[in-house]
Amino acid sequence: MMARAGYYTTGAALAILFLFPLLWSGYASVSTESGFGLENYGRLFTSDNGIRPYHVVNSVLVCLITVGGTLLISTLGGYAFGRFRFPGRDLLFLVTLAILMVPYATILIALYVLLGWMGLQDSLLGLGLVLIMFQLPFSIFMMRNSFEAVPKELEESALIDGCNSFGVLTRVMLHAVRPGLITVGLFAFLTSWNEFFAPLILLNSTDQFTLTLAVVNMRTATFGSIDYAALEAGVMFMAVPCVLLFLFLQRSYVRGFMSGALKG
């Protein structure tokens, strides 16, 4: 009983600790001089520096590019690392993981120049490709471990039935590693939706700005004052999709970590 009480007490304390910033932002977003209301949210969408529909569209497009590209490349890469034997496989996988130790902020300027050579500077596609690159080391690690957790007998049965390697991947393995796919996709979405520094460096045109840049622009109001209430409303506006998506996918998210990241 004492151990269980300590477990619940620790869990409650950690929940309060992590939820406090979000709850405080929610409280500040509805606080007005006359009490409580939604005036701050109205100002969020009507002020000169507020959020516009194209900001939402830009963020959604970047998320779609990042999530789709990350899932495609990490699935193929994880399948190759997890199921095939080829010269230099382990060394190549270690080099891929080593990229995690490189602070991505240190290479953004080089990527900005590279995107200029490719004709993708100041574009949502270029930003999406950069975010995919940042996601790949962790995503490939997750997917490799997810594929390795699948019994080999399942793959061998599909091969005996006449499937080739690609058929095994699309018809059998993808269903078996679905929790890993959801985990990778969720991480890619959360990163691309909330990313600030990369859009700040790579995007120049205001019509290409994502929600993070639009919300930060709201800090400056008349005579350089900061509209904290509208800023908190913007934070809550951006947080709601992340919270809802995480709550909806949390069971598969936990299963993805249990079956993938904890193996090997």
Tally Cβ neighbours within 10 Å of residue 50: 19
Which helix (H) or strand (E) is 46 found in, with range? helix 39-46
CATH 1.20.1250.20 given to domain 38-261: no
Closest CA to 194 of 260, 126, 253, 243: 243
Q: What is the pTM of this model?
A: 0.85
SS3 content of the chain, % helix, strand, coil (to 5): 80, 0, 20
Residues 98-103: contacts with CB under 8 Å, at least 24 apart: 99/136, 99/137, 100/137, 100/138
Domain assignments of the chain as residue spans, ordered by start: 38-261
Distance of alpha carbon 162 from its chain centroid, rounded? 37
Q: What confidence tens digit (pLDDT) does each residue in 25-68 have?
A: 888 888 877 778 788 888 888 877 778 889 999 999 999 999 99
110-169 pLDDT, tens digit per residue, is 888 899 899 888 899 999 999 999 999 999 998 998 888 888 887 778 777 777 778 888
The two counts, helices (H) then strands (E), for the chain are 13, 2
Task: Provide the pLDDT for residue 255.
Answer: 65
